[in-house]
Structures are given as C-alpha cells and as structure tokens.
C-alpha cells in the first residue's frame, strides 16, 4: 500500500519550524532535526530556553513567539522565510494542560487552554498555508494526544482541545493532500514533559521526549498520516474507543479515583 503522505527520509537542507520548541517533545524534535541536517527555527516564549535547546548550532534560528499574539506570527514567519527562503515543514507542538475534573474548570483558564492548544494552530495555518499552497509542497505536523481519543477524567479542557486537533488534521488532509501538501497527525501517549509532571497518578508506558521524537521521526519517514505511540498503550485506547458506552464508561471510571 502507498503511504498517505510523502515520506520524509532525507532531512538535509529541510526547512523546519517547530512551535513549542523550548522543552519536551518539541525540544527533542529540534535536536533530532538538526542532527539530520535540517535548518530549524525554534519558537516559544522563553528565549533563554530556546537558546539552550539550539545550543549555538549554525543551522538553528531562535525565533521567540507568543503564539497567542496574532500579529507576531506574521512577523516571525517573515523573519524565518527571509533567513531560510521558505518553510518545508511546520510542527505544532505547543500545548497547555491543567489536570482538573469538570467541576473544577474555570472559564478564563478554559479559554486560555483552548486558544493555546487549538486557536493558535488556526493562526499558524493561516500564516504558513498561502506560501505552501502557492508552491504546491510542504508539510503540516500537528501534535494532538491520545487524550483526544475519548473523554478521560482530569483532561476536562485539554482532552476536548486535542480531540478537535484530531478532527482538524483529518479535514486538513482531505483538503491539502490533493494540492501537494502532507499532513501528519501525531498522537503521543504519556511523555515525560513539564505538562505530565503535573499529574499525580501512575502513567502507563511513560516515554522520554527523546523516545517520542524517534517515534515521530520513524512515522514521518514512513509517510504515515497518524503517528501514535507507544503502540502497546495507544492500541489499547483505540480498542477502548470501539467499545459500547455501556462497557466503556465503567472501564474509564477505573482510571481515576472517585
């Protein structure tokens, strides 16, 4: 069977923009891409952390960005295109997460999480898509989460935002693949990041950011649409999603303390 996307096997000279590059999966992806010979623009709010991740690499461009500032996207995009000549792959990896039950959600916090996890992706897409469509090539990689597979307690806002990203990636693929662009949906399980450090429960199949980056790299090289890992965990959740609600809800309830 043919891969759904163009496989990314040779990163030499590839122009990559990583959003959320200061820590976790984003930082690990940056370091892998630089080792593979890519030109990488690193964006997040903290310039000191971005500089630490870049490590002075000659093919790294530190491009601090507040993803909630719409105008700043245009300015950073222009800067990167001037330096690199364009963008071949953008990776949306920034996220906000607060473990909370449904009765603990406050409107202001929910709005910020939704704008960070979902709204900023729309801003980024409107920024990069015109040039990619005009060129007829490019890649969009969206880091969602297995939390978007089904409604899980403690992910009262984060989970729905990731479910929306899964839906968005699917419709983007249908829209953009016929026009020469690739769309990659990345659904990690638990990864050791500042976000998961907030959890106070056992996280099965917990992976390091470096292991997550390697899994993503393999998925991109294979041209897969959905890249999910670790499979021993994600496949179990996929199976759970197929169960009738009468069976699914009791199983989900066991995942958290009442």
Instruction: Name beta bridge partners: 39.
Output: 15
210-225 pLDDT, tens per residue? 999 999 999 999 999 9
139-166 pLDDT, tens per residue? 999 999 999 999 988 899 999 999 999 9
Question: What's the pLDDT band for 194 if we cut at 50, 70, 90?
Answer: confident
CB 20 within 8 A of CB 66: no
pLDDT of residue 257: 52
Spell out the CATH class of 15-253.
Answer: alpha beta
- Return the number of other C-beta atoms located less than 10 Å from residue 236's C-beta: 14
Burial annotation 242-256 (CB, 10 A radius, 16+ → b, else e): eeeeeeeeeeeeeee
Return the DSSP state at 117. Answer: I
Q: Token digits for 177?
A: 């693949």
The residue ranges of every structural domain in the chain are: 15-253
pLDDT of residue 54: 98
Q: What's this model's pTM, rounded to 2 decimal places?
A: 0.94
């Amino acid at each position: 069977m043919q891969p759904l996307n163009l496989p990314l096997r040779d990163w030499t000279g590839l122009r990559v923009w990583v959003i959320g590059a200061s820590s976790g999966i984003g930082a690990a992806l940056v370091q892998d891409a630089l080792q593979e010979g890519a030109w990488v623009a690193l964006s997040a709010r903290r310039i000191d952390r971005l500089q630490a991740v870049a490590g002075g690499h000659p093919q790294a461009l530190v491009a601090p960005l507040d993803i909630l500032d719409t105008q700043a996207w245009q300015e950073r995009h222009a800067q990167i295109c001037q330096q690199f000549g364009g963008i071949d792959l953008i990776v949306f990896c920034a996220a906000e997460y607060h473990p909370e039950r449904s009765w603990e959600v406050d409107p202001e916090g929910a709005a910020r999480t939704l704008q960070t996890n979902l709204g900023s992706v729309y801003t980024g897409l409107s920024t990069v898509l015109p040039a990619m469509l005009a060129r007829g090539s490019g890649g969009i990689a969206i880091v969602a989460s297995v939390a978007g597979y089904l409604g899980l307690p403690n992910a009262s806002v984060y989970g729905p935002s990731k479910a929306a990203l899964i839906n968005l990636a699917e419709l983007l693929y249908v829209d953009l693949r016929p026009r020469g662009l690739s769309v990659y949906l990345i659904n990690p399980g638990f990864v050791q990041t500042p976000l998961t450090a907030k959890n106070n429960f056992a996280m099965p199949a917990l992976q390091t950011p470096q292991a997550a980056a390697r899994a993503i790299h393999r998925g991109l090289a294979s041209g897969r649409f959905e890249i999910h890992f670790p499979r021993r965990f994600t496949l179990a959740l996929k199976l759970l999603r197929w169960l009738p609600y009468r069976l699914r809800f009791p199983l989900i309830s066991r995942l958290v303390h009442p």
